Amino acid sequence: MATLVLSDVPDELNAALEASAERNHRSKEKEALHLLAASVGATPVDWNEFFDRPRRSFPKDYTDEIRRSGR
């Protein structure tokens, strides 16, 4: 994976990127990658699949059993 560095970005664009990232529940870096992929016609990647994997979830009955046993 290559490194992309942006310099001299106007404050308005930086603020717009931050707002877009917040709306889409992404970091600024992930939002910038998503926008770059969309702008060049590449298939957008679900970066959450790679970076924000949720914790393993247990079936509710198993979780309740653990709570009852006091573990």
Domain boundaries, the chain: 11-69
Low-confidence ranges of the chain (pLDDT < 50): none
Task: Give the per-residue pLDDT at 5.
Answer: 84
DSSP one-letter string for 20-31: HHHHTT--HHHH
**Residue 54: its pLDDT value, please?**
54
What pLDDT, on a 0 to 100 scale, did the predictor assign at position 58?
54
pLDDT recorded at residue 39: 80
pLDDT at 18: 92
Amino acid at 51: F
Q: Which residues contact 30 (CB under 8 A, 6 or more apart)?
A: 21, 47, 51
